[in-house]
Structure 1
């Protein structure tokens, strides 16, 4: 087993990858703020198995096995969770993007990513100290 295959490091890597994917989705929401009929999307928070540290399956039934496959209707992709928009947030054009909410989410997502990246780096530093490389 490689040092980087430890459960804690795997969870932090998964969390950072999730934040990267979420940032892309939030940017798409902002970019499509003026598109008629566009509904904002967000990713479901990843969950981890406490015993193994591996990402727990969501049990949705269907998964994409290839990026070229078409997602099921109403599905926004792997791990996607369409955000529910209340009626008063939808403009007459049918667009439900609230730029203030999206920018707040983007800022929170960025700080959470930086925290996970910092924890990952510090964990590697501790491991290096433990094996006498630093």
Structure 2
């Protein structure tokens, strides 16, 4: 059995990938805070069953170029998580619904959760090494 097959480590890896993708989405919200008619996006947090496998499928997020002058999205994105469409309730006269305060709170909470997941992942690996006598 490979270490990658352990449900706990697989769930933690999925959680860390979700936090990385969410950080990218939140940074796009912040960078478009002055773009007219921009609506902020967020990701739905993945749910796990008792075996550590994600529950429900994740639909791929795709970026859309609305102008040929826009930079093309990189093809190496891990865009495999559901998008939360219930964000951005306050809209400014220009149609922009990004609140920098809310986005920065989300960024900081996301960063702390990612740090907790990476810490748990590292501790799990150290525990496994101790169990097999390598530490």
CA distance in structure 2 between the partners assigned to 1:36 and 1:46 by the alignment = 31
How many residues are matched? 121
Unaligned runs of 5+ in 2: 65-78
- Cα 1:133–1:77 shift into 2, 3 Å: closer
- 1:104-115 aligned at under 5 Å gives the runs 104-115=105-116
TM-score (norm. length: structure 1)? 0.82
- Cα 1:96–1:77 shift into 2, 3 Å: farther
TM-score (norm. length: structure 2)? 0.82
How large is the Cα RMSD of the aligned pairs? 2.2
Q: CA deviation digits over 1:54-101, x for unaligned, max 9?
A: 10115x8xx44xx8898xxxxx97411123332xx2100000000000
- 1:23-38 aligned at under 5 Å gives the runs 23-38=23-38
- Cα 1:78–1:5 shift into 2, 3 Å: same
Unaligned runs of 5+ in 1: 71-75
Corresponding residue for 2:126?
Answer: 125
Q: Does the alignment pair 1:21 with 2:21?
A: yes
Corresponding residue for 1:7?
Answer: 7
Is contact 2:44–2:81 with CA below 8 Å preserved after alignment?
no
CA distance in structure 1 between the partners assigned to 2:46 and 2:87 by the alignment = 19
